[in-house]
Amino acid sequence: MKHTLRQVFRSGKFVVGFSIFVAIMLIVIIYPLVVRYPPLEIIGQGTFFPPGIYVNVYDSIGSSTLYTLKLDDASAKRIASKLKEEDRLAIKEWLVGSGLLESEIDTTDTQKLLEQWVNHYDPKKKSPGMTNAQRNYYIRLDASLDGILSTEGAIIAAKNPDTGALEEKGIIKQSDYVNVSQAANVRVLPLGTDNFGRDVLTELVKATGVSLLIGFVAGTIATLIGLSLGLLSGYVGGLMDDGIMFITNLFTVIPSIVLLILISFSIGQEHRGAVTIAVVIGFTSWVWTTRAVRAQVISLRNRDHVNLSKLSGHSIFHIILADILPYIASYVVMALILQISVAILAEAGLSILGLGPRTTEVPTLGLMLNWAFIYQAQILGKWWAYIPVITIIALISFSLNLMNTGLDQVFNPALRE
């Protein structure tokens, strides 16, 4: 046994897969201890906030300490963020239409470009072939450019409680900076928010934990069922074998996803907890394990040591436990890993359809995808709502598969490179 373990851990593939998987599990366990936000807390008022560091503007303005930094490119950056490339090209187009030569127009020289614009723009001018929409666009552009080059600060005013008039309270200069760590309210959202306004990262970690749990439970159930059925079918043979194989074939052909859909829907949303789903998945995905175990048992049952036990009068259960199980242990381990992987994917698939665990209490990986797709995150380009989830699913599946391939090579030397 120790020797096998040593060999297993020498297999490169297994170690890599194992490490990834363990890393994910560690994150799932440690993250909630460090970051104590409740995963399903809705913090974003609005949908799909992009990832980033969210600094409370009110706090920054009212901050006691404002630092003055003189950065050379500050104003250029400011202007650049207000005047995008498309706008510059539009301005250039207009200028060319006004008679300027292309060689005189440099879209990168903001100052000169704006000068030329101010000199040549005429809101009443109608270029041939220009639609109303385009004209309005230029009008808006012109308005937004107003004051873009000014270096004045922003005025903060508050209403005088007595007169109701606005009184100037302070000025925020263009060179004022706030130290983020001193701001009262900062929230880092590395993965933004989802459609409900929840912190995707925290939600993701929790969902991974739940999905892994479902995977373990379902996988274990499936392996146990598969193991028992395979052992009985393979060892006892005869009618029991025929019967079990009949049922197995039935379950093979009827797609498990169909079964899951039917059962899940029939159970109804009130009863669909994470564990219930796990059990359902476990009870519908044992087919492969049964077949594999049965094949192994059949090849084992006529071996000498088994016959010896039979002659010695040991009961069937004793023979199965003592003589057959140890030899199929390696298969069972591989089957378990496979079943866990299958179960996690099954849960994801089921949840994407909306037939997974209840939506209010726990997030699961598939559920996060379900929300993302219903709210069309992929079309809107809100990648953070689904890409990280899929990546985690892929990583889990990948690491488990890698572990299995590694184990396969350890137990089956012909496959070694």
Partner 1 sequence: MKGYVRYFGGKMGWFLITLLAAFILNFTLPRLMPGDPVAAIISRVAQGMSDATGVQAIYEQYTELFGTNLPMHEQFFLYMRNVARGDFGFSFSQYPRTVADVIASSLWWTVILQLPAILVGWLIGNFLGALAAYRKKGFDKVLMPASIFASGLPAFGMAVYLLVVFAVTLEWLPTSGGYGFDMIPNLSWEFIWSVIVHYQLPFWSIVLVLIGGQAIGMRSMAIYELNADYVKYARFMGIKDRKILRYVFRNAVLPQVTGLALAIGTLVGGALVAEIIFSYPGLGTTILTAVLGKDYPLISATALIITLMVLIATFIIEILYGFIDPRIKAAQIED
Shortest separation between residue 49's beta carbon and partner 1, angstroms: 18
Separation between Cα atoms, residue 216 and residue 340, nearest integer Å: 6
Distance CA 201, CA 363 (A): 12
Residue 145 CA to residue 123 CA, distance in Å, equals 14
SS (H, E, C) the chain: CHHHHHHHHHCHHHHHHHHHHHHHHHHHHHHHHHCCCCCCCECCCCCCCCCEEEECHHHHHCCCCCEECCCCCHHHHHHHHHCCHHHHHHHHHHHHHCCCCHHHCCCCCHHHHHHHHHHHCCCCCCCCCCCHHHHHHHHHHHHHHCCCCCCCCEEEEEECCCCCCEEEEEEECCCEECCHHHCCCEEEECCCECCCCEEHHHHHHHHHHHHHHHHHHHHHHHHHHHHHHHHHHHHHCHHHHHHHHHHHHHHHHCCHHHHHHHHHHHHCHHHCCHHHHHHHHHHHCCHHHHHHHHHHHHHHCCCHHHHHHHHHCCCHHHHHHHHHHHHHHHHHHHHHHHHHHHHHHHHHHHHHHCCCCCCCCCCCHHHHHHHHHHCCHHHHCCHHHCHHHHHHHHHHHHHHHHHHHHHHHHHCHHHCC
Nearer to partner 1, 244 or 355 (CB): 355
**Residue 8 or 392: which CB sits closer to partner 1?**
392
Q: Residue 224 Cβ, how far from partner 1 at the closest point, in Å?
A: 21
Residue 366 · residue 356 · CB < 8 Å: yes
Q: How far is the CB of 178 from partner 1 (least distance, A)?
A: 34
CB of 284 to partner 1, least distance (A): 11
Closest approach of partner 1 to the CB of residue 293, in Å: 15
Minimal distance, residue 354 CB to partner 1, in Å: 5
Instruction: Rank residues 177 and 251 by Cβ distance to partner 1 and give the closer one.
Output: 251
Nearer to partner 1, 172 or 257 (CB): 257
Nearer to partner 1, 14 or 94 (CB): 14
* Separation CA 259–CA 268 (nearest Å): 14
Specify whether the CB–CB gap between 182 and 299 falls below 8 A.
no
CB of 4 to partner 1, least distance (A): 21
Minimum separation from the CB atom of position 42 to partner 1 (A): 21
Q: Which is nearer to partner 1, 83 or 287 (CB)?
A: 287
Residue with Cβ nearer partner 1 (290 or 309): 290
Whole-number minimum distance, CB 76 to partner 1, in Å?
Answer: 28
Q: How far is the CB of 185 from partner 1 (least distance, A)?
A: 33
Enumerate binding residues for partner 1 (CB under 8 A): 249-250, 252-259, 261-263, 265-266, 268, 341, 345, 348-349, 352-355, 369, 373-374, 378-379, 381, 383, 386-387, 390, 393-394, 397-398, 400-402, 405, 408, 414-415, 417
**CB closer to partner 1 out of 98 and 330:** 330
By beta-carbon proximity to partner 1, the closer residue of 68 and 266 is: 266
- For partner 1, give the closer residue by CB, 58 or 265: 265
